[in-house]
Structure 1
Amino acid sequence: MSLFPVLVTAWVLVLVVPVLGARLGTRAGWVAAAVLGALTVVVATGPASSPDSVDEVLPWIPAVEVMLRLRMDGLGTLFALLVLGIGAVIMAYSTSYVTEERSGGFYTLMTAFAAAMLTLVLADDLVLLFVAWEITTICSYLLILRVGPRGREPAARTLLITVSGGLALLAAVCTIVVRTGTTQLSVALADPAWGTDPVFAGVVAVLVAMAAMTKAAQFPFHSWLPDAMVAPAPVSAYLHAAAMVKAGIYLLMRFSGAAAASPVWPWLLVTVGVVTALLGGVFALQRHDLKELLAYSTVSQLGLLVAVIGIGTPTALLAASAHVVAHALFKSAGFMTVGLLERRAGTRDLRELRGLFRAIPWTASMIVLTALSMAGIPLTLGFVSKEYVLDAALTAGTGPGTLAAAGLGAAAVLTVAYSARLVVPVMFGPAADLRPGGGARTMAGTVTVTALAGGVLGPAASALDPLLGTSAAASLQVPPAAIDGFYVWHGLNPALLVSALAIAIGAGLVLARGRVDRFLARPLWPFTGVSAVERLRTGIIELGRVTGRPTAGDAPARHLLVPILLIALAGTVAVGLRAGDIAAAPGTSDASDVLLLLLSACGIGAVLMARNRLAAVLGAGVVGFSVALWFFGLGAADVALTQLLVEVLTVAVIVLILRRLPRGFPAGTGGARRTVTRAVLAVGAGVAATTATLVSTGWRGPSAASTWFLAEAQEQTGGSNVVNTILVDFRALDTFGELVVLALAALVMTALLDARRPQPLQVTDAPAAPVTDPRANAIFLRTAAKVLVPFLLLASVYVLLRGHNAPGGGFIGALIGASALVLAYLAAPSDATGRVRLPFLLVAGMGAVVAAATGLLGLLDGSFLRPLHADVLGVHLSTALVFDVGVYLAVLGVVVAGLNLLGAPPEDDEPDPRLPPDRSEVGHASEEVSR
């Protein structure tokens, strides 16, 4: 049997269901039920009765050895059957429960939950397992949120608890991968480190247990499950019977064989499981709301499962496998019954429900059968699984086994008592007044399927032996022959005696339910689990507010001060630790370095002393050009060209902004406190940059990466410009991200300036003179532009094409082309005539599209963005050049956006009164060039 078609079908169903929901409404649930039912049959014909497993692998992230590995053994088969089978039944149930207008989103999330759970139980890769785990968390949050405003707080609390478990699982995954050296789950679990490294085994055992306990609603994480009862009945039936909570149980069973090497594992699981089973049972007896009773009974039953998994013997894992099936059947039937009674009786209060045997005899009989299985009354499947649970606890020996035997025996008493509350108060008396049963037959039919299955599979328990035996064997990583058979009767033994006592004592509690109710009609704790989680949530939010208060506001200095000072401190410490190496290193500076350093210092001083904005910009430009010269002197031609062109364009764009600001800096921007803050920030930035340079790149030989690039770049890529090959070949994904950011920058600029009118231009009256006449003043620039603009545009294309083998490339070429457009703009007599007639958003967007399309071509060679190479007429060609074209377009688009939006927004597009009505020839020329 192939696993990938099964999994792909489940995910395709997620995509198809919204369309079906729009066309078929609630009837789309029948399609989902049919698909899940068919997949159940396919899985059932797999290795359910065979000790052999099915393994399949597809590459996913091969660079780090993360694969789409799927593996179906006995444990995976058991849970896959539950996920798909119970899911099919509940989808059919939902066709009569869900309203027409909400069906599409509901079925989408439910099928996504089913697909995520199926991925989880089939995953044989730790990363894939974690991803599927987190998808179930998101789906559960969204399903609870769908009920409206009353689901907002419970959904947030559920998300907080389950996400904390996800972080624990992430920590466990990272620890396992680092220690075992593999992401393959089956190989990692078989690694000898579990037995030879007690620290590793103990840490991972605690992390995995915490992750599982948050999903499986174990104390102290149990409060989310009753809190999530605001969700509709189908959601509760699925998440709390076969999906959400079973994810935690599956994780514990999957790690049971390996984590049991740590003595922490059995004690932790048994202790938490017993406490949860007892607390859940007591809380269930306190409830009169039928849904809340079932919720706390789920908590109790999950505690029983966790405890028996902690025992860890072959009998215990066989018992856990059996009880997983029994619990899924009787709990899904119970929650679906709640939905049916809500619809027909209009209430879930046990004090108001009476005479169900007279009103709905068949459904009432199914409720009784469900309660019998949950209570463990012979000969239901619940009875058989409970016998195995008690037998595992009683035969486990001292230590955790003693605690489990006592605790689970007491929990069995409570189980009988709260199960009886489903039957005794509501079945007898005059017939209840029920509403017309629209869709009730479908709901009753699905309840019948799971309730009867839980009853029939008790006497036919031996039919489950192959499935349960291979499940237990896979959990313990032992041969199936090491697991005893599963059958109904295994003689008179202590487990049967404890079971009989539990039934008798539980029946006594039922007879004395009046006194029990009066005794329990009080808070057992000074606070509830929900209130504790809510306090934690509000505390975290308040902590975030307090933490963010120092950096609240728009001033960059408030945001930059702390990280820059911390980086400077860390760099200073690092320099101190390497002071000996630095002092012993040979000198590498010459006179030109000193000259450029002094020139940079002069520029910085000019910025600090500037009293108007334009002078500050010119001073900053001096610093930028000095750095560009420094790069040229060090031989970094590509970086130097980029720096030089960026400086030119930055000054041009900043001047466009300065026209809308006052010439001088506003008064009151100084002050001793702000001056000190700025000084500290500036000094910290300088120290951080200096120390980072000294520690990271100074006084050491060439790094292994640089040596490899220099030696291998031409052979690997066909290009001799190492800088360009790194950008468009080796690290194309980084460059792709950057050009997408550039395209988004053009879009954001447009949105901001469209949404908010910019400040008006600062125009001052000046006496008539040639220097103030735009046309006469720009005659030299206009004349030069006629020659330079076409030349620069051609040069930009040339630099783009030669970039793979010489200084240049898409980024530098685009900057040269943008410089041509800036020159044409500056030569124009007005903003209106200088505007570049170019659809800049389309150009920037096309850059991202071209780069993405080039990346998809790389999939032909096995990896996104991998360049394809070919020799045409003796010329070596590469798709990296096409990728560089995408970079060119994105950069050009964002620069044109700056010119058009900042230079002459539509609001300012008024004719200059100093110009004649006809446009200048340069205006025409710039328009033609831009076209």
Structure 2
Amino acid sequence: MTLLGLLLGGWLLTALAPLLARWLGHRAGWPLAAGLLGLAAMALMLGYDTTVEQSVPWIPSLDIALRLRLDGLAMLFVALVLIVGALVMIYSTAYFRGKPTVSYYTLMTAFAASMTMLVLADDLVLLFVSWEFTTLCSYLLILRSGPDAGPPAARTLLVTVAGGLCLLAAVATIVVRTGTTHLSTALADPAWSEDGTFATTVAILVAVAAMTKSAQFPFHAWLPDAMVAPAPVSAYLHAAAMVKAGIYLLLRFAEPAAHAPAWSALLITVGLVSSFIGAVFALQRTDLKALLAYSTVSHLGLLTLVIGVGTTAALTAAVVHVVAHAAFKSAGFLYVGLLEKRAGTRDIREVGGLWRSMPLASVLILVAAVAMGGIPPTLGFVSKELVLDGVLHGPGLWLAALVALSAAITVAYSGRMVVSTLPGAPTRLAPASGTWPMVVAIAIGAVAAGTFGLVAPALDPLVGRAVAATGGSGDVHLALWHGVTPALGLSLAAIAAGALLIVARRGVDRVLDRRLFPVTGVGAVEAVQRAVQVTGRRLGDLTRTDAPAAHLAVPLLLIAVLGVAGLVALTPSWEAADSTAVDVALLIVLTGGVIATVVARSRLGAVIAVGVAGFSVAVWFFTLGASDVALTQLLVEILTVVIMVLVLRHLPQQFGRRSVRRAVPAAILAIAAGVVATLGPLVFTGRAELSAVGRWFVEEGPVETGGANVVNTILVEFRALDTFGELVVLAIAALAITALVEARPRVTRPVLPSVSSLLAPAAPNAVFINVLARVLVPLMLLGSLYALLRGHNAPGGGFIAALIGAGALATRYLGAPDDREAHSGLPYLAIAGSGVVVAAVSGFIGYAERSFLTPLHADILGYHFTTSLIFDLGVYLAVFGVILGALDSLGSPEEPAAKAGDRR
């Protein structure tokens, strides 16, 4: 049993979730809840009383690893994430009865796995990746909530992604300054205490990232806005899990960031403001869900504040309140979902008499509300007293008094939840049949919030280890009664003041029944969103044109300018070399092809001229001994001509005439870029026969890879990650081809009247190539497979093999009498996508030895086998799919949209 097993267990559960949801429907929540509880038990057995670490290489060259660490703080958050997640899954079995659940259960388990990975991460890169996973899962869960969920989901994504960018900047700064991605090592680096600029910069970036995720002012608006999501999503993501990710980040960085004076001042200020505005806005609301959402902002503000205080007492208060808040807030949100399901409303003005119509649920929400208000003997009372005590022994009485005032408002809105809904005339409710799992989930959260205060000392080990992990003392002694203390006095005063506000609630409602600020949080986010969009459109207008020349001018100009600047600044040596007659002849042919292309008035003539230039380059490569590159160039030229001819059918036969005013600058720019692109390689390589790096690949490559083809081993072993990125680009190109062809109807030249001629019928004139294709196509397909298998040791490989296979398709296409018969009907998008998947799978195999895309080698029956062959197969499929897509899309008959639908 290892930490890696714990993490993989969460992702395995995510993979099983859609299968279970399809098989069991809404009842899939039961096995998923059991799985989450099993993972929680595994975590407790692994690290309840000890710190466990594990590391698996990921990108060794950059010191990035799958480092996992289960200390006291991670143990606490893992337990909360998994246990509350299990309660939500149980609840969902009744809440989503008769509704689609595949995407819901998949995303919820993915979120649980992402949060688990986040709190276990002991590598800065893994921490950031996990952080972004939680952002993505949250966005998708909100987005799937209904047709009106799009804008709130987008606003949530906008705010949380901005925080993610701040975290990315913090991670980059830490890695550069400390020289490691190992989180524990980086946090213990002396740079935090020795370099004030570094400490302050990272502290502010981390604080902003956490505030966006934990909905702190001025980023608080997204959380109430996200309440469009169903109750179980709100209970888990926006009360007990996602918003706690920011609190976890603050606690994890609390000790080193405390060296920056701005850390404490920022957290205390923002936390206090968030606590007040959240409490006041909650007291304003009549929608129970909105009330609880703003209550979450308020409680998270208290947590931010005490983390900013930073003493052991304050950190202890933060840890205990994290537990208490998760218990009573999850119970509260789940109760609202039950009420909404049975009463059809969440408005406290429209429900009443719940004491009699929902007696058990009423008792449970009363307990949860009492805990939320911090009234004895609940865990909420214990945590509130600890918060007040931590503030009193930190900044002092003035801040403690303000916190007590916020606590009084908390008592007021907590009481408002029950005094407005439980007494009175009973509201007509839907039958309770089948809702018992919802009541069970509410009961567990409410009972935990209500009774943990009575057994507070039992939490000492868990809380003590969590506090110790934040830099405080692990000597923690929790109790319901600490005697008569100033903190107790402030707590009782807050309860009394809150009770008075409840009694005077009608007057309070009249005072608060208005807009308190001229600008709403949602309005501010929308304004920023509009400003970004308008700015983007205006910047885009500068280059928004369909003319290729306008887009080509920028890179050509940069090549010319930077190339000339490099030549002047570096003044490298150039060792002249003798040229052969073949070189001169090929240069003349190449130059002629380029000139013919430039002066051609016919598009078909230009294609032929480009082919002359391309074929001459291919021959030149052959004469220089670069057979791999030459074969690739030759095949690309052939297929390019075929595809360009397909495009030419939809374009005018002749180029439009260009004015001298436009032609001269274009010619100057093209000549300058061409001269620089030619001189650059000649000068910077010094015309050397072989560079030091090239010599190493030639001499050591076969030893390292077991392959004699240096070009192929560079592509699929030494630079496999670059090649993998290119495969993704190819798959996107296949999608782009489809999108462009289907986005608008194709323009076809007018069909001229048919002329009686021996050349007019297509079928008889295609006999020769059809007969030839019957022999060539199978041979070319077999040849492509042969080139794929031999590529590690001889000219070939996935790219060349795919070009040969695509050449077979092109031959078949050219032999077809019309477009309909030429259309292959093969799913080219699936083929190209499968290439990326195969390459990724081969990359993950590399984890068996070192890291992603590390090739594994073995001798099987005298044949040297390497997983690079699997990667090369991915290259083959991706390239083959793109070329097939070009042939089928550009050469297909009318109604391309219908055919594309068939292909997919």
Change (3 A) 1:394 1:797: closer
Answer yes or no: is the 8 Å Cα contact 1:20–1:28 preserved in 2: yes
Answer yes or no: is the 8 Å Cα contact 1:832–1:904 preserved in 2: no
Separation (CA, whole Å) in 2 of partners of 1:17 and 1:797: 38
Name the stretch that deviates more: 289-298 or 804-813: 804-813
| 1:35 alignment counterpart | 35
Name the stretch that deviates more: 509-518 or 202-211: 509-518
Answer yes or no: is the 8 Å Cα contact 1:158–1:228 preserved in 2: yes
Separation (CA, whole Å) in 1 of partners of 2:671 and 2:398: 64
Corresponding residue SS for 2:253: helix
Separation (CA, whole Å) in 1 of partners of 2:397 and 2:443: 38
Letter in 2 for 1:410: L
| 1:78 alignment counterpart | 76
| 1:609 alignment counterpart | 599
Letter in 1 for 2:438: M
Change (3 A) 1:635 1:834: farther
Deviation at 1:792, TM superposition (A): 9.2
Change (3 A) 1:434 1:633: closer
Separation (CA, whole Å) in 2 of partners of 1:279 and 1:736: 49
Corresponding residue SS for 1:354: coil
Q: Of 870, 877, 881, which residue of structure 1 is paired with 2:859? A: 870
Corresponding residue SS for 1:526: coil
Matched, 1:211 2:209: yes
| 1:492 alignment counterpart | 484
Deviation at 1:832, TM superposition (A): 7.1
Q: Of 692, 696, 700, which residue of structure 2 is paired with 1:708? A: 696
Instruction: Give per-residue Cα distances to partners, 1:868-908, cap 9 Å, x unaligned.
Output: 353866x867665686677678767877887788789799x
Separation (CA, whole Å) in 1 of partners of 2:766 and 2:355: 98
CA RMSD of aligned residues (A): 4.4
**Higher radius of gyration, 1 or 2:** 1
Separation (CA, whole Å) in 2 of partners of 1:449 and 1:893: 54
| 2:505 alignment counterpart | 513
Corresponding residue SS for 2:323: helix
Deviation at 1:807, TM superposition (A): 5.1
Deviation at 1:249, TM superposition (A): 0.7
Answer yes or no: is the 8 Å Cα contact 1:29–1:95 preserved in 2: yes
Answer yes or no: is the 8 Å Cα contact 1:810–1:885 preserved in 2: yes
Change (3 A) 1:450 1:617: closer
Answer yes or no: is the 8 Å Cα contact 1:47–1:54 preserved in 2: yes
Matched, 1:424 2:419: yes
Letter in 2 for 1:47: G
Deviation at 1:198, TM superposition (A): 2.1
| 1:407 alignment counterpart | 402
Matched, 1:91 2:89: yes
Separation (CA, whole Å) in 1 of partners of 2:293 and 2:250: 21
Answer yes or no: is the 8 Å Cα contact 2:132–2:164 preserved in 1: yes
Name the stretch that deviates more: 191-200 or 889-898: 889-898
Instruction: Give per-residue Cα distances to partners, 1:813-843, cap 9 Å, x unaligned.
Output: 66678779978998x7x85799999998799
| 2:495 alignment counterpart | 503
Deviation at 1:689, TM superposition (A): 3.5
Answer yes or no: is the 8 Å Cα contact 2:392–2:487 preserved in 1: yes
Separation (CA, whole Å) in 2 of partners of 1:377 and 1:282: 19
Separation (CA, whole Å) in 2 of partners of 1:14 and 1:850: 21
Matched, 1:389 2:384: no
Answer yes or no: is the 8 Å Cα contact 1:747–1:841 preserved in 2: no
Corresponding residue SS for 1:350: coil
TM-score in terms of structure 2 length:
0.86
Corresponding residue SS for 2:470: helix
Separation (CA, whole Å) in 1 of partners of 2:769 and 2:22: 63
| 1:186 alignment counterpart | 184
Q: Of 150, 159, 175, which residue of structure 2 is paired with 1:177? A: 175
Answer yes or no: is the 8 Å Cα contact 1:831–1:904 preserved in 2: no
Separation (CA, whole Å) in 1 of partners of 2:201 and 2:688: 39
| 2:715 alignment counterpart | 727
TM-score in terms of structure 1 length:
0.83
Name the stretch that deviates more: 318-327 or 537-546: 537-546
Deviation at 1:191, TM superposition (A): 2.1
Matched, 1:380 2:378: yes
| 1:916 alignment counterpart | none
Answer yes or no: is the 8 Å Cα contact 2:362–2:422 preserved in 1: yes
Answer yes or no: is the 8 Å Cα contact 1:37–1:84 preserved in 2: yes
Write the mapping of 1:186-265 to structure 2, written as runs, cut at 5 A: 186-265=184-263
Corresponding residue SS for 1:149: coil
Letter in 2 for 1:517: D
Change (3 A) 1:479 1:709: farther
Separation (CA, whole Å) in 1 of partners of 2:21 and 2:135: 24
| 1:14 alignment counterpart | 14
| 1:168 alignment counterpart | 166
| 1:522 alignment counterpart | 514
Count of residues in correspondence between the two structures: 891
| 2:629 alignment counterpart | 639
Matched, 1:458 2:453: yes
| 1:682 alignment counterpart | 670
Separation (CA, whole Å) in 2 of partners of 1:359 and 1:800: 73
Separation (CA, whole Å) in 2 of partners of 1:146 and 1:775: 53
Write the mapping of 1:551-630 to structure 2, written as runs, cut at 5 A: 551-552=543-544, 554-578=546-570, 581-582=571-572, 585-587=574-576, 600-628=590-618
Separation (CA, whole Å) in 2 of partners of 1:783 and 1:428: 90
Corresponding residue SS for 2:654: coil
Name the stretch that deviates more: 304-313 or 655-664: 655-664
| 1:447 alignment counterpart | 442
Answer yes or no: is the 8 Å Cα contact 1:746–1:844 preserved in 2: no
Separation (CA, whole Å) in 1 of partners of 2:403 and 2:592: 81
Corresponding residue SS for 2:68: strand
Answer yes or no: is the 8 Å Cα contact 1:75–1:472 preserved in 2: yes
Separation (CA, whole Å) in 1 of partners of 2:314 and 2:308: 8
Deviation at 1:693, TM superposition (A): 4.3
Change (3 A) 1:463 1:768: closer
Separation (CA, whole Å) in 1 of partners of 2:261 and 2:612: 68
Answer yes or no: is the 8 Å Cα contact 2:824–2:888 preserved in 1: no
Instruction: Give per-residue Cα distances to partners, 1:757-796, cap 9 Å, x unaligned.
Output: 8847988989989x99999999999999999999999998
| 2:900 alignment counterpart | none
Deviation at 1:405, TM superposition (A): 2.9
Deviation at 1:224, TM superposition (A): 0.6
Deviation at 1:80, TM superposition (A): 1.5
Separation (CA, whole Å) in 2 of partners of 1:889 and 1:262: 53
Change (3 A) 1:445 1:688: farther
Name the stretch that deviates more: 380-389 or 437-446: 437-446
Structure 1: 5+ residue runs without aligned partners?
A: 908-931
Corresponding residue SS for 1:102: coil
Corresponding residue SS for 2:203: helix
Change (3 A) 1:621 1:71: same
Deviation at 1:697, TM superposition (A): 5.1
Deviation at 1:335, TM superposition (A): 1.5
Separation (CA, whole Å) in 2 of partners of 1:689 and 1:278: 64
Separation (CA, whole Å) in 2 of partners of 1:75 and 1:91: 24
Separation (CA, whole Å) in 2 of partners of 1:346 and 1:294: 18
Letter in 1 for 2:719: R
Separation (CA, whole Å) in 1 of partners of 2:738 and 2:585: 42
| 1:926 alignment counterpart | none
Change (3 A) 1:672 1:219: farther
Separation (CA, whole Å) in 2 of partners of 1:787 and 1:737: 36
Matched, 1:54 2:52: yes
Name the stretch that deviates more: 129-138 or 219-228: 129-138
Letter in 2 for 1:616: A
**Percent identity over paired residues:** 54
Structure 2: 5+ residue runs without aligned partners?
A: 896-904
Separation (CA, whole Å) in 2 of partners of 1:169 and 1:795: 51
| 2:264 alignment counterpart | 266
Change (3 A) 1:94 1:765: closer
